[in-house]
Amino acid sequence: MSDFFIGLMSGTSCDGVDAALTEFTPSPHLCANYFLPYPPDLRTRLLEFASGRYQGDAIDELGALDTELGELFATAALALIDNARIPVEDICAVGSHGQTVRHRPSGTYPFSLQIADPNIIAARCNIPTVADFRRRDLALGGQGAPLVPAFHRAMFADRLEARAVVNIGGIANITALPAGGVEVSGFDTGPGNLLMDLCSREYLHMPHDTNGAFAASGRVDEVLLKALLADEYFQRAAPKSTGREYFSESWLAKRLADRKPAPRDIMATLSELTACSISQAVIRQAQGTRRVILCGGGAHNLHLRNRLTALLPDCAVVNSDVFGIPPDWVEAMAFAWLARETLAGRTGNIPAVTGARATAVLGAVYHA
Protein backbone atom coordinates (compact mmCIF):
# COMPACT_ATOMS: atom_id res chain seq x y z
CA MET A 1 0.00 0.00 0.00
CA SER A 2 1.09 3.57 -0.64
CA ASP A 3 2.10 5.66 2.34
CA PHE A 4 1.85 9.20 0.98
CA PHE A 5 1.02 12.22 3.14
CA ILE A 6 0.84 15.92 2.31
CA GLY A 7 2.11 18.56 4.73
CA LEU A 8 0.84 22.14 4.47
CA MET A 9 2.60 24.97 6.29
CA SER A 10 2.70 28.74 6.43
CA GLY A 11 5.06 30.29 8.93
CA THR A 12 5.61 33.59 10.71
CA SER A 13 6.74 35.27 7.51
CA CYS A 14 3.16 35.00 6.18
CA ASP A 15 4.34 34.69 2.60
CA GLY A 16 2.37 31.71 1.32
CA VAL A 17 1.64 27.99 1.56
CA ASP A 18 4.39 25.36 1.48
CA ALA A 19 3.03 21.99 0.32
CA ALA A 20 5.17 18.85 0.59
CA LEU A 21 4.25 15.40 -0.70
CA THR A 22 6.01 12.95 1.58
CA GLU A 23 6.32 9.20 1.23
CA PHE A 24 7.21 6.98 4.18
CA THR A 25 9.25 3.94 3.20
CA PRO A 26 9.42 3.90 6.26
CA SER A 27 11.74 6.92 6.47
CA PRO A 28 10.22 10.20 5.22
CA HIS A 29 11.13 11.05 1.64
CA LEU A 30 10.19 14.28 -0.14
CA CYS A 31 8.52 13.29 -3.42
CA ALA A 32 7.28 16.67 -4.64
CA ASN A 33 6.77 20.22 -3.40
CA TYR A 34 4.78 23.28 -4.32
CA PHE A 35 4.70 26.87 -3.08
CA LEU A 36 1.59 29.04 -3.44
CA PRO A 37 2.30 32.69 -2.57
CA TYR A 38 -0.34 34.72 -0.80
CA PRO A 39 -1.90 37.48 -2.92
CA PRO A 40 -0.43 40.80 -1.69
CA ASP A 41 -3.76 42.14 -0.43
CA LEU A 42 -4.42 38.97 1.58
CA ARG A 43 -0.93 39.10 3.12
CA THR A 44 -1.52 42.74 4.08
CA ARG A 45 -4.84 41.86 5.73
CA LEU A 46 -3.26 38.94 7.59
CA LEU A 47 -0.45 41.09 8.95
CA GLU A 48 -2.86 43.84 9.97
CA PHE A 49 -5.09 41.34 11.73
CA ALA A 50 -2.26 39.44 13.42
CA SER A 51 -0.65 42.67 14.65
CA GLY A 52 -3.90 43.99 16.14
CA ARG A 53 -4.06 46.93 13.73
CA TYR A 54 -7.30 45.82 12.04
CA GLN A 55 -9.96 48.49 12.59
CA GLY A 56 -13.15 46.72 11.46
CA ASP A 57 -15.27 43.89 12.84
CA ALA A 58 -12.58 41.46 14.02
CA ILE A 59 -14.88 38.43 14.17
CA ASP A 60 -16.08 38.97 10.59
CA GLU A 61 -12.50 39.37 9.41
CA LEU A 62 -11.32 36.29 11.29
CA GLY A 63 -14.08 34.20 9.72
CA ALA A 64 -13.34 35.54 6.24
CA LEU A 65 -9.59 34.95 6.57
CA ASP A 66 -10.16 31.43 7.88
CA THR A 67 -12.29 30.60 4.84
CA GLU A 68 -9.99 32.30 2.30
CA LEU A 69 -6.96 30.51 3.68
CA GLY A 70 -8.80 27.20 3.73
CA GLU A 71 -9.42 27.64 0.00
CA LEU A 72 -5.78 28.60 -0.63
CA PHE A 73 -4.40 25.68 1.37
CA ALA A 74 -6.69 23.32 -0.55
CA THR A 75 -5.59 24.88 -3.84
CA ALA A 76 -1.94 24.34 -2.91
CA ALA A 77 -2.57 20.69 -2.04
CA LEU A 78 -4.44 20.06 -5.29
CA ALA A 79 -1.73 21.77 -7.36
CA LEU A 80 0.88 19.61 -5.64
CA ILE A 81 -1.10 16.45 -6.43
CA ASP A 82 -1.54 17.53 -10.05
CA ASN A 83 2.17 18.31 -10.49
CA ALA A 84 3.18 15.02 -8.88
CA ARG A 85 0.75 13.11 -11.11
CA ILE A 86 -0.35 10.87 -8.27
CA PRO A 87 -3.93 9.64 -7.77
CA VAL A 88 -5.75 11.36 -4.93
CA GLU A 89 -6.79 7.98 -3.54
CA ASP A 90 -3.11 7.11 -2.96
CA ILE A 91 -2.77 9.90 -0.38
CA CYS A 92 -3.51 8.86 3.18
CA ALA A 93 -4.01 12.30 4.68
CA VAL A 94 -3.15 15.98 4.65
CA GLY A 95 -1.49 17.50 7.70
CA SER A 96 -2.21 21.24 7.83
CA HIS A 97 -0.51 23.54 10.28
CA GLY A 98 -2.52 26.52 9.06
CA GLN A 99 -1.49 30.14 9.55
CA THR A 100 -0.79 31.38 13.06
CA VAL A 101 -2.49 34.70 13.72
CA ARG A 102 -1.86 34.89 17.47
CA HIS A 103 0.34 32.92 19.86
CA ARG A 104 -0.16 33.64 23.58
CA PRO A 105 1.08 30.58 25.48
CA SER A 106 1.91 32.47 28.67
CA GLY A 107 -1.21 34.54 29.25
CA THR A 108 -3.87 34.12 31.92
CA TYR A 109 -5.77 31.98 29.43
CA PRO A 110 -3.04 30.52 27.18
CA PHE A 111 -3.90 29.94 23.54
CA SER A 112 -2.44 29.62 20.06
CA LEU A 113 -4.68 30.32 17.08
CA GLN A 114 -4.08 28.90 13.59
CA ILE A 115 -6.54 29.47 10.75
CA ALA A 116 -7.17 27.91 7.28
CA ASP A 117 -10.40 25.96 7.68
CA PRO A 118 -9.53 22.22 7.50
CA ASN A 119 -13.14 21.39 6.64
CA ILE A 120 -12.58 23.13 3.30
CA ILE A 121 -9.30 21.29 2.70
CA ALA A 122 -10.91 17.90 3.41
CA ALA A 123 -13.97 18.70 1.27
CA ARG A 124 -12.14 20.13 -1.75
CA CYS A 125 -9.33 17.57 -1.78
CA ASN A 126 -11.49 14.61 -0.70
CA ILE A 127 -8.63 13.55 1.58
CA PRO A 128 -8.74 13.14 5.38
CA THR A 129 -7.16 16.23 6.91
CA VAL A 130 -5.43 16.54 10.27
CA ALA A 131 -5.20 20.05 11.74
CA ASP A 132 -5.24 22.01 15.01
CA PHE A 133 -2.02 20.39 16.19
CA ARG A 134 -1.08 22.83 18.95
CA ARG A 135 -4.04 23.05 21.30
CA ARG A 136 -3.89 19.58 22.86
CA ASP A 137 -0.36 20.37 24.06
CA LEU A 138 -1.61 23.71 25.42
CA ALA A 139 -4.45 21.91 27.21
CA LEU A 140 -1.77 19.89 29.00
CA GLY A 141 0.03 23.02 30.19
CA GLY A 142 2.50 23.21 27.31
CA GLN A 143 3.48 26.05 25.02
CA GLY A 144 2.01 24.32 21.98
CA ALA A 145 5.32 25.04 20.26
CA PRO A 146 7.71 24.21 18.83
CA LEU A 147 6.27 20.95 17.49
CA VAL A 148 8.89 20.10 14.88
CA PRO A 149 11.52 18.70 17.32
CA ALA A 150 9.88 15.24 17.28
CA PHE A 151 10.31 15.18 13.51
CA HIS A 152 13.86 16.52 13.81
CA ARG A 153 14.63 13.61 16.13
CA ALA A 154 13.18 11.12 13.67
CA MET A 155 15.16 12.57 10.76
CA PHE A 156 18.44 13.87 12.12
CA ALA A 157 19.35 12.17 15.43
CA ASP A 158 22.57 10.18 15.36
CA ARG A 159 23.74 7.41 17.65
CA LEU A 160 27.28 8.78 17.96
CA GLU A 161 27.19 12.50 17.16
CA ALA A 162 25.48 15.27 19.15
CA ARG A 163 23.60 17.55 16.79
CA ALA A 164 21.36 20.60 16.86
CA VAL A 165 18.73 21.43 14.26
CA VAL A 166 18.06 25.14 13.83
CA ASN A 167 15.02 26.21 11.86
CA ILE A 168 15.32 29.84 10.79
CA GLY A 169 11.92 31.04 9.68
CA GLY A 170 10.40 34.33 10.81
CA ILE A 171 11.11 33.01 14.31
CA ALA A 172 14.08 30.68 14.87
CA ASN A 173 13.90 27.50 16.93
CA ILE A 174 16.44 24.94 18.03
CA THR A 175 16.22 21.20 18.63
CA ALA A 176 19.10 19.73 20.65
CA LEU A 177 19.77 16.09 19.71
CA PRO A 178 22.33 14.50 22.03
CA ALA A 179 24.15 11.45 20.72
CA GLY A 180 21.55 8.69 20.74
CA GLY A 181 18.73 11.24 20.44
CA VAL A 182 17.07 10.27 23.73
CA GLU A 183 16.83 13.44 25.85
CA VAL A 184 15.68 15.86 23.18
CA SER A 185 15.16 19.52 24.08
CA GLY A 186 14.22 22.59 22.11
CA PHE A 187 12.63 26.03 22.11
CA ASP A 188 12.20 29.22 20.09
CA THR A 189 15.45 31.17 20.26
CA GLY A 190 13.89 34.48 19.17
CA PRO A 191 13.68 36.35 15.85
CA GLY A 192 14.97 34.55 12.79
CA ASN A 193 14.23 36.40 9.54
CA LEU A 194 11.28 38.41 10.87
CA LEU A 195 12.96 41.69 11.84
CA MET A 196 15.43 41.53 8.96
CA ASP A 197 12.57 41.05 6.49
CA LEU A 198 10.66 44.00 7.97
CA CYS A 199 13.67 46.24 7.38
CA SER A 200 14.38 44.76 3.97
CA ARG A 201 10.89 45.75 2.83
CA GLU A 202 11.43 49.26 4.21
CA TYR A 203 14.98 49.91 3.04
CA LEU A 204 15.35 47.70 -0.04
CA HIS A 205 11.69 47.37 -1.10
CA MET A 206 12.37 43.66 -1.30
CA PRO A 207 10.81 40.79 0.72
CA HIS A 208 14.25 39.78 2.01
CA ASP A 209 17.93 40.63 1.88
CA THR A 210 19.23 38.13 -0.69
CA ASN A 211 22.19 36.19 0.74
CA GLY A 212 22.37 38.79 3.50
CA ALA A 213 24.37 41.00 1.11
CA PHE A 214 23.01 44.32 2.44
CA ALA A 215 23.65 43.24 6.05
CA ALA A 216 27.16 42.12 5.11
CA SER A 217 27.88 45.60 3.75
CA GLY A 218 27.11 47.25 7.10
CA ARG A 219 28.73 47.38 10.52
CA VAL A 220 27.21 45.98 13.70
CA ASP A 221 26.11 48.68 16.13
CA GLU A 222 27.39 47.10 19.34
CA VAL A 223 25.37 49.40 21.60
CA LEU A 224 22.16 48.58 19.76
CA LEU A 225 22.99 44.87 19.70
CA LYS A 226 23.54 44.88 23.46
CA ALA A 227 20.17 46.60 23.96
CA LEU A 228 18.40 44.07 21.74
CA LEU A 229 19.99 41.08 23.47
CA ALA A 230 19.05 42.54 26.88
CA ASP A 231 15.41 41.67 26.25
CA GLU A 232 14.21 39.30 28.96
CA TYR A 233 13.09 36.70 26.41
CA PHE A 234 16.68 35.75 25.66
CA GLN A 235 17.41 35.14 29.36
CA ARG A 236 14.16 33.27 30.01
CA ALA A 237 14.54 29.57 30.73
CA ALA A 238 12.97 27.03 28.42
CA PRO A 239 10.35 25.87 27.68
CA LYS A 240 9.54 29.01 25.76
CA SER A 241 8.06 30.03 22.43
CA THR A 242 7.34 33.34 20.78
CA GLY A 243 6.04 34.96 17.62
CA ARG A 244 5.35 38.07 15.58
CA GLU A 245 3.17 39.52 18.35
CA TYR A 246 6.24 39.81 20.61
CA PHE A 247 9.17 40.50 18.27
CA SER A 248 7.17 43.05 16.33
CA GLU A 249 7.78 46.22 14.38
CA SER A 250 6.97 48.23 17.52
CA TRP A 251 9.44 46.14 19.57
CA LEU A 252 12.20 47.16 17.18
CA ALA A 253 11.03 50.78 16.87
CA LYS A 254 11.25 51.29 20.66
CA ARG A 255 14.86 50.13 20.65
CA LEU A 256 15.74 52.32 17.69
CA ALA A 257 14.09 55.41 19.15
CA ASP A 258 17.31 56.80 20.65
CA ARG A 259 19.66 55.58 17.93
CA LYS A 260 19.74 56.34 14.21
CA PRO A 261 22.19 53.94 12.58
CA ALA A 262 22.41 53.78 8.80
CA PRO A 263 20.00 51.24 7.29
CA ARG A 264 22.81 48.86 6.32
CA ASP A 265 24.11 49.00 9.92
CA ILE A 266 20.64 48.24 11.27
CA MET A 267 20.48 45.20 8.99
CA ALA A 268 23.95 44.09 10.05
CA THR A 269 22.92 44.41 13.70
CA LEU A 270 19.66 42.49 13.22
CA SER A 271 21.53 39.73 11.43
CA GLU A 272 23.97 39.59 14.33
CA LEU A 273 21.04 39.47 16.78
CA THR A 274 19.73 36.34 15.06
CA ALA A 275 23.20 34.79 14.88
CA CYS A 276 24.02 35.59 18.52
CA SER A 277 20.71 34.38 19.95
CA ILE A 278 20.98 31.11 18.01
CA SER A 279 24.65 30.51 18.86
CA GLN A 280 24.06 31.29 22.54
CA ALA A 281 21.22 28.76 22.58
CA VAL A 282 23.49 26.11 21.05
CA ILE A 283 26.31 26.82 23.51
CA ARG A 284 24.09 26.96 26.61
CA GLN A 285 21.40 24.41 25.86
CA ALA A 286 23.00 21.98 23.41
CA GLN A 287 26.39 21.41 24.98
CA GLY A 288 28.62 18.99 23.14
CA THR A 289 26.99 19.68 19.77
CA ARG A 290 29.30 18.88 16.88
CA ARG A 291 26.98 19.54 13.94
CA VAL A 292 24.40 22.31 13.50
CA ILE A 293 21.84 21.56 10.78
CA LEU A 294 20.11 24.62 9.32
CA CYS A 295 16.68 24.63 7.72
CA GLY A 296 14.04 27.23 6.90
CA GLY A 297 14.45 30.25 4.66
CA GLY A 298 17.30 31.65 6.75
CA ALA A 299 19.47 28.70 5.75
CA HIS A 300 19.92 30.45 2.38
CA ASN A 301 21.28 33.63 4.01
CA LEU A 302 25.01 33.29 3.30
CA HIS A 303 26.01 36.13 5.64
CA LEU A 304 23.98 34.69 8.50
CA ARG A 305 25.41 31.23 7.92
CA ASN A 306 28.94 32.66 7.91
CA ARG A 307 28.28 34.45 11.22
CA LEU A 308 26.96 31.25 12.80
CA THR A 309 30.05 29.40 11.60
CA ALA A 310 32.26 32.08 13.20
CA LEU A 311 30.31 32.09 16.47
CA LEU A 312 30.26 28.27 16.70
CA PRO A 313 33.87 27.32 15.91
CA ASP A 314 33.52 23.85 17.46
CA CYS A 315 30.58 22.91 15.24
CA ALA A 316 30.16 22.07 11.59
CA VAL A 317 27.34 24.29 10.31
CA VAL A 318 25.53 22.65 7.37
CA ASN A 319 22.20 22.89 5.59
CA SER A 320 19.62 20.11 5.83
CA ASP A 321 20.03 19.23 2.17
CA VAL A 322 23.22 17.43 3.22
CA PHE A 323 20.77 14.89 4.68
CA GLY A 324 18.54 14.82 1.62
CA ILE A 325 15.90 17.36 2.70
CA PRO A 326 15.95 20.85 1.14
CA PRO A 327 15.85 23.51 3.92
CA ASP A 328 12.62 25.09 2.66
CA TRP A 329 10.59 21.90 3.04
CA VAL A 330 11.53 20.53 6.46
CA GLU A 331 8.59 22.11 8.30
CA ALA A 332 5.96 21.12 5.73
CA MET A 333 7.31 17.57 5.84
CA ALA A 334 7.10 17.71 9.63
CA PHE A 335 3.35 18.25 9.47
CA ALA A 336 2.95 15.40 6.99
CA TRP A 337 4.82 13.28 9.54
CA LEU A 338 2.71 14.57 12.44
CA ALA A 339 -0.48 13.74 10.52
CA ARG A 340 0.81 10.20 10.07
CA GLU A 341 1.57 9.94 13.79
CA THR A 342 -1.92 11.18 14.64
CA LEU A 343 -3.68 8.67 12.40
CA ALA A 344 -1.54 5.89 13.88
CA GLY A 345 -2.51 6.98 17.41
CA ARG A 346 1.08 7.94 18.27
CA THR A 347 2.06 10.97 20.30
CA GLY A 348 3.60 13.98 18.56
CA ASN A 349 4.72 16.40 21.27
CA ILE A 350 7.83 16.28 23.48
CA PRO A 351 7.05 17.57 27.00
CA ALA A 352 10.71 18.47 27.61
CA VAL A 353 10.34 20.89 24.68
CA THR A 354 6.87 22.34 25.17
CA GLY A 355 6.50 22.01 28.94
CA ALA A 356 3.34 19.89 28.69
CA ARG A 357 2.48 17.57 31.58
CA ALA A 358 2.33 14.55 29.28
CA THR A 359 2.72 13.35 25.74
CA ALA A 360 -0.40 13.42 23.57
CA VAL A 361 -1.77 12.46 20.19
CA LEU A 362 -2.02 15.83 18.48
CA GLY A 363 -4.61 17.36 16.19
CA ALA A 364 -8.16 16.74 15.06
CA VAL A 365 -9.12 14.58 12.09
CA TYR A 366 -11.51 15.95 9.45
CA HIS A 367 -12.72 13.03 7.36
CA ALA A 368 -13.04 13.18 3.58
Closest CA to 235 of 272, 271, 172, 281: 281
Instruction: State the Cα–Cα distance between residues 141 and 105, nearest whole angstrom.
Output: 9
Rg (Cα) of the chain, in Å, rounded?
Answer: 20
pLDDT of residue 181: 67
- What's the average pLDDT block by block, 10 residues per block, for the chain (368 residues)? 89 94 91 97 94 88 97 98 96 98 94 98 98 98 96 94 97 95 90 96 95 98 97 95 94 91 97 98 94 97 98 97 95 98 97 97 97
Cα angle at 326 between 301 and 282, to 5 degrees?
60
The CA distances from residue 313 to 224, 281, 308, 317, in Å, are: 25, 14, 9, 9
Instruction: State the Cα–Cα distance between residues 150 and 355, nearest whole angstrom.
Output: 14
Peptide bond into 207 cis (omega under 30): no
User: What are the chain's domains?
Assistant: 4-144+329-347+357-366 (3.30.420.40), 149-327 (3.30.420.40)
Query: What three-state secondary structure class fits 291?
Result: strand
Residue 333 gets the label, from left (phi > 0), alpha (psi -120 to 50) or beta, of alpha
Instruction: State the Cα–Cα distance between residues 133 and 335, nearest whole angstrom.
Output: 9
pLDDT of residue 26: 82
Given a contact cutoff of 8 angstroms between Cβ atoms, the answer to whether 263 and 199 are in contact is yes
Say if strands 28-37 and 16-24 run parallel, antiparallel, or are unpaired. antiparallel
Q: Which residues pair with 113 in a beta bridge?
A: 102
Question: Helix H segments across the chain?
Answer: 40-51, 58-84, 118-125, 135-139, 149-156, 194-203, 213-216, 222-229, 232-235, 249-256, 263-285, 302-311, 330-343, 351-354
Instruction: State the Cα–Cα distance between residues 243 and 365, nearest whole angstrom.
Output: 26
Helices 302-311 + 263-285 axis angle, to 10: 40
Instruction: State the Cα–Cα distance between residues 16 and 35, nearest whole angstrom.
Output: 7
Given a contact cutoff of 8 angstroms between Cβ atoms, the answer to whether 359 and 349 are in contact is yes
Instruction: State the Cα–Cα distance between residues 141 and 354, nearest whole angstrom.
Output: 9
pTM over 0.75, yes/no: yes
Closest CA to 16 of 76, 81, 82, 93: 76
pLDDT of residue 362: 98
Give the distance, in angstroms, between the CA of residue 81 and the centroid of all CA atoms in the same chain: 23
pLDDT of residue 194: 96
Q: Which residues pair with 364 in a beta bridge?
A: 131
In this structure, the number of other CB atoms found within 10 A of the CB of residue 313 comes to 7
Which amino acid is residue 240, in one-letter code? K
